[in-house]
Chain A
């Protein structure tokens, strides 16, 4: 008998099996699989075998697992029948007797046999006495290893106040607002802005939103006119223009109050925000945008940074360094034929100026603008209720 070669073969097989199993199947008990093959191989070697077929070894190791399973099941069943949760030695011996009843053991025919004196136990004692003590070849750690799960802290752990009484404090806390997108309802994956900018953005957006409501109300009152030539409106818009700077200026200039940005762009931005929430009045947004831009055409040319996507389709403003992303929100009706024209790149103020210098389309635009203003009046009433 060549013990050394068998040991090498075992390890070789084991390593082969491990690589194979890791390549083809990822079972949770790969480790146990490998270990039990080594154990079975060791026992077979002690019996007298020198080598095995792979399939035979796997089959035998599978069978001993089923054997252990059935012992465990039977023992726990016996314990439960006796009204216990934990099994004791008698449950195990009874389980062994059931398993061994196929082959029979000494004393199995005795009606009043004692479990403690069972033939099975005697057989095992006999076996233990005779066989050599061969310990397992490898040092087996305790498994399966239970990973410590570090879950999200609860409200109570984090010391945060849960928002609302309906949220118990032992639930996991909400993630920080900075970690998810800006407060707009639509998912803004394109906005990979840093946290600081985002919080300021949120603050500014809130102010812009309020001013937007005021503006829309003013538009409603204005009737057919574009509502652009009122002083009060101008003042308000100038104020709002300064607030909307971050969307128009370069990111580095964030926070500075630049008045040079045309107030015309403010309605575009604000109207864009409105378009976010109500898809229907998008056309009127465009209409307003057109009329306002016409009036402030000379001011537009003074804009340094390009017009931020004055597109009814754009949801949020992009920074200068960000690539242009176009969103297509389905619009039911397009009363304005030039809606697609508003796909502008930010760095083309000249192109935008050329639109507004286009006098041929002005009459058509004005007519369309009137139509759209009527619609905006109706929708602004809805918004005023917001």
Chain B
């Protein structure tokens, strides 16, 4: 789809697409409530009386969360597939798809958000280490 920005037809199409979309936004109720989005947008200095724009931001945010969550879900499922102890355990785990920090940090890394947790806390560098073993 190569639209020539100079052609009025193309422009007209784009504009109509956009305005149609914005109109359709009013029918769709985003899961993230408008008031919440409006509150945070106001905090950041965004000033607009048009509610369609707020809906647009809400939908964009919802899409973002959905993408991150689906990535985390894939990580979670991949981990469950890797753990093959016995069928009973796996079935139990299948019923419990839990959003963990681990999966979340992995999926957020792709979006440029670094959420890394300390793996463990030790009071000295040699805690839990055999004197003969080397640390990795």
- A interface, CB within 8 angstroms of B: 29, 32, 35-36, 39-40, 42-44, 46-53, 55-57, 59-60, 63-65, 67-73, 75-76, 85-89, 92, 96, 102-103, 112, 114, 116-117, 120-121, 123-125, 127-128, 131, 133-136, 140-144
A103 vs chain B, min Cβ distance (A): 7
A47 touches B44 (CB 8 A): no
A51 touches B3 (CB 8 A): no
B101 vs chain A, min Cβ distance (A): 5
B98 touches A86 (CB 8 A): no
A103 touches B110 (CB 8 A): yes
Contact of A46 among B10, B31, B47, B53 (CB under 8 A): B31
**Residues 59-78 of B at the A interface (beta carbon under 8 Å):** 59-66, 68-70, 72-73
B88 proximal to A (CB < 8 A): no
Distance of A57 Cα from B15 Cα, bound (Å): 38
Interface residues on B, range: 35 or more
B21 touches A121 (CB 8 A): yes
A91 vs chain B, min Cβ distance (A): 9
A140 touches B35 (CB 8 A): yes
Distance of A121 Cα from B61 Cα, bound (Å): 13
Assess A75 versus B46: contact at CB under 8 Å? Given A114-B11, A143-B39. yes
Query: Which chain B residues border A29 with CB–CB below 8 Å?
Result: 39
Assess A52 versus B36: contact at CB under 8 Å? Given A63-B108, A128-B59. no
Distance of A36 Cα from B36 Cα, bound (Å): 7
A50 touches B97 (CB 8 A): yes
Q: How many residue pairs bridge A and B at CB < 8 Å?
A: 193
Question: Which stretch from B22-30, B119-127, B128-136 is at the chain A interface?
Answer: B22-30
B44 vs chain A, min Cβ distance (A): 3
Query: Which chain B residues border A128 with CB–CB below 8 Å?
Result: 21, 24-25, 28, 59
B31 touches A135 (CB 8 A): yes
Supplied contacts A35-B33, A87-B46, A136-B32, 5 more A-B pairs, CB within 8 Å:
A56-B101, A60-B68, A64-B32, A102-B111, A117-B17
Contact of B47 among A53, A87, A120 (CB under 8 A): A87
Chain A contact residues: helix, strand, loop or mixed:
helix
Distance of A76 Cα from B57 Cα, bound (Å): 13
- B interface, CB within 8 angstroms of A: 1, 3, 5, 10-11, 14-15, 17-18, 21-22, 24-25, 28-29, 31-37, 39-50, 52-53, 56-57, 59-66, 68-70, 72-73, 95-101, 103-104, 108, 110-113, 115
Query: Which chain A residues border B64 with CB–CB below 8 Å?
Result: 64, 67
Distance of A125 Cα from B40 Cα, bound (Å): 23
A47 touches B33 (CB 8 A): no
B35 touches A73 (CB 8 A): no
Distance of A96 Cα from B53 Cα, bound (Å): 12
Assess A124 versus B56: contact at CB under 8 Å? Given A56-B101, A76-B45. yes
A43 touches B112 (CB 8 A): no
Distance of A143 Cα from B37 Cα, bound (Å): 11
Query: Which chain B residues border A52 with CB–CB below 8 Å?
Result: 98-100
A43 touches B65 (CB 8 A): yes
Distance of A92 Cα from B54 Cα, bound (Å): 10
Which of A29, A39, A86 has the most B CB atoms < 10 Å from its CB? A39
Distance of A193 Cα from B51 Cα, bound (Å): 58
A92 touches B65 (CB 8 A): no
Distance of A141 Cα from B100 Cα, bound (Å): 31
B112 touches A49 (CB 8 A): no
Assess A116 versus B69: contact at CB under 8 Å? Given A57-B99, A86-B47, A87-B46. no
